[in-house]
Amino acid sequence: MFEALLSYNFLQNAFFSAILASIACGIIGTIIVEKKLIMMSGGIAHTAFGGIGLGYYLGIEPLIGAMGFAIFSALGISQLQNRTRISPEVVLGMFWALGMALGILFIAVTPGYPPDITSYLFGDILTVSRVDLLITLIMDLIIVAAIGCFFNAFKTYLFDEEFAQVIGLPVSRLENLTYVLIALTVVVLIRVVGIMLIIALLTAPPSIARQYTNSFLNTILLSILLGIIFCSAGLWVSYLLDIPSGAAIIIIAVSSYFLISMFKKPAP
């Protein structure tokens, strides 16, 4: 595997993509788990499929379309939750279905042969291109910069929202920023594990990390390390056995969580 990594560009792209995706996953995954935004993340991920379809229809990079749809849906869900009395799950479900429906529609009306969307739905890290790497790097830089600049504000918002309001933090803006960062992370992970499997990779590493530390920063760092291990292991298994990479990564990540949870007592 190591010799192949040095020889083939597609394996190098996949390896670097695993590292970059793990950075975003470790940071935002920790926030998602602590703030209980798991289904929100799934909804944004499925809505992004509409942007992928639009990208194919317009002849642009599908991930750029996915990013636009993901950000729009994240902010739209946030606004509707705050302005209506409808249950957040209802709003989320409608965005979830609408994004998938629009994606199917755009792909159906795209001229020529219908594109293969399997890698976007279920992930294929071995098909990551240089353009995908560049987009992922930009998304990572935005996520790291945002969390780094507002780290203490995010900690307060995540663990005690009422106290954050009392001391004058802009909770509404922090919420919107959180949703946008989730959207960016979804775009980062689409080519790695696919829309259908994103939730597992966002939740497994931080869920394992929380069993070893109660520190917010340490949870993020350990989640990033675990993400790199899971993605690299999944890449290796996928290459050796010629099986779908997204499925391999998720099986390893979730199996690790189950095994660790069975034999490791939670941190006090």
Q: What is the pLDDT of residues 81-140, one digit of tens each?
A: 777 766 777 888 888 899 999 999 999 998 887 777 888 888 878 788 888 888 889 989
Instruction: Provide the CATH topology of domain 2-263.
Output: ABC transporter involved in vitamin B12 uptake, BtuC (1.10.3470)
Within 8 A by CB and 6+ apart from 27, the residues are 143, 144, 147, 185, 220, 223, 224
Reference 189, options 15, 24, 53; nearest CA is 24
Three-class secondary structure of residue 110 per DSSP: coil
Higher pLDDT among residues 32 and 89, named by residue:
32
pTM for the full model? 0.87
Distance CA 71, CA 150 (A): 20
Tell whether the torsion through CA atoms of 78, 79, 80 and 83 is positive or negative: positive
**What mean pLDDT do residues 222-231 have?**
93
Across all residues in the chain, what is the average pLDDT?
86
Q: How confident is the model at residue 39 (pLDDT cuts 50, 70, 90)?
A: confident
Looking at residue 5, what is its pLDDT? Answer: 57
Domain boundaries, the chain: 2-263
**What mean pLDDT do residues 131-153 have?**
89
Looking at residue 203, what is its pLDDT? Answer: 92
Dihedral angle computed from the Cα positions of residues 47, 53, 59 and 63, in that order, rounded to the nearest 10 degrees: 40
**What mean pLDDT do residues 167-177 have?**
87
Looking at residue 224, what is its pLDDT? Answer: 94
pLDDT exceeds 80 at position 162: yes
Looking at residue 240, what is its pLDDT? Answer: 85
pLDDT exceeds 90 at position 219: yes
- Report the percent of the chain where pLDDT is more than 90: 32
pLDDT in tens, 43-98: 888 899 999 999 999 988 888 899 999 999 888 888 887 777 667 778 888 888 99
Looking at residue 6, what is its pLDDT? Answer: 57
- Report the percent of the chain where pLDDT is more than 70: 95
The residue type at 126: L
**CA angle 6–243–15, rounded 5-degree value:** 30
Q: How confident is the model at residue 142 (pLDDT cuts 50, 70, 90)?
A: very high
The residue type at 7: S
Looking at residue 4, what is its pLDDT? Answer: 58
**What mean pLDDT do residues 249-261 have?**
92
| Integer angstrom CA distances of residue 171 from 103, 158, 160, 244 | 33, 10, 11, 41
Three-class secondary structure of residue 169 per DSSP: coil
